[in-house]
Amino acid sequence: MSDRLVLLGTKGGPAIRPGGPWPTSTLLELGGRTVIVDCGLGVTRGVTDAGLSLKALDLIFITHLHSDHVLELGPLLHTAWTAGLATPVRLFGPAGLNQYWQRFVQALEFDIETRIDDEGRPDLREMVEVVEFGEGNVLQDGELLVTALRVDHPPVTECFALRFENLGTSIVFSADTAFFPPLADFARGADVLLHEAMLEEGVERLVARTGNGARLREHLMASHSLAGEAGTIAARAGVGRLVLNHLIPADDPDIAEGDWVEAVRKTWNGPLTIGRDGLVVSVKGDNARNREDLHETGDAEERFA
């Protein structure tokens, strides 16, 4: 199995609209391990559409507890269990994640106990190990190393960028964050940096169509990164490829991929991928490195069938 990223959901924020993208979730296959990072609405369908059996769930990481990152975590695990999951799953996330999980299984208590008694299933409540983490080393498992960095996403304080490393290959997820210079050191030399991104002109149209526009705009500008700021982090870190993800807005018909590219090219001249649901990004070590080719984006991308 080749190392790859599958962008299952690329939209920032929990709302979905007809024909639009799904909120944030990503599949990472690295060194033979299967990792899900964040579980926004649509993650279960996204995982199966990517060709992964739900019975193969292994490691799940949650960057923070905003609903567009955690809403479908419980349903993903429960659906995997009904699909035949029989091996333990390790679930990593910030403080409060265990409470989420315990209350989910409590809410589904009738169904879980009925299926155990009636269908002979193992107890789902005993199959999930929850590990709450802070900054620093999160997991060392064989050749896989996962580390975390607290980022700037007010008012949420327990929000973490994640770095996955395996045999010289490294992938960094920014999580949700305002422009945060320490992230450049954390992502230093990574093969791929997935960084959230926002277009200010799109934000103005987004807040105009909501009932709490002024408050929403204040939150977005204080808690998220503009596309050019994501490019600055990538350039300072010297990463191999920048992938824009958690796009705000992701479903504005007046914003095209070229608008994102134009915004990022003011600060980043390396390989660039603009996220969209279902996109596969190959993780190829040296082949994903920055080759100073402004137009070389297609080599790392494909759509899954």
Q: Is the pLDDT of residue 143 over 80?
A: yes
Nearest-angstrom CA–CA distance, 280 and 176: 21
Residue-wise pLDDT tens digits, 158-206: 999 999 999 999 999 999 999 999 999 999 999 999 999 999 887 887 7
The whole-number pLDDT of residue 286 equals: 47
Per DSSP, 153 falls in state B
More confident residue, 241 or 293: 241
The whole-number pLDDT of residue 304 equals: 42
- Cα dihedral 288, 294, 299, 300, rounded to 10, equals 50
First and final C-alpha spacing in the chain? 16
User: 29-33, 122-126, 174-178, 300-304: which range is least confident on average?
Assistant: 300-304
- Pick from 221, 175, 128: which is nearest to 213 by CA? 221
The whole-number pLDDT of residue 77 equals: 98
Domain of 50, in residue numbers? 4-303
For 298, residues 6+ apart whose C-beta sits below 8 A from its C-beta are none
For 13, residues 6+ apart whose C-beta sits below 8 A from its C-beta are 23, 68, 248
pTM: 0.92
Q: Is the pLDDT of residue 263 over 60?
A: yes
More confident residue, 291 or 54: 54
Average pLDDT, the chain: 90
Nearest-angstrom CA–CA distance, 138 and 148: 7
- Pick from 1, 40, 28: which is nearest to 173 by CA? 28
The torsion region of residue 136 among left (phi > 0), alpha (psi -120 to 50) and beta comes to: left
Residue-wise pLDDT tens digits, 209-229: 776 677 787 888 888 999 999
In percent, the amount of the chain with pLDDT more than 70 equals: 92
Q: Name the strand (E) or helix (H) holding 217.
A: helix 213-223
Q: What is the mean pLDDT of residues 151-160?
A: 96
**Residue 103: how many CB atoms within 10 A of its CB?**
11
The number of folded domains in the chain is 1
Q: In what order do the strands lie in the sheet with 33-39?
A: 128-132, 89-93, 59-61, 33-39, 25-30, 4-9, 279-282, 301-303
CATH code, domain carrying 248: 3.60.15.10
Strand-pairing partners, residue 226, are 198
The whole-number pLDDT of residue 1 equals: 58
Residue-wise pLDDT tens digits, 70-80: 999 999 999 99
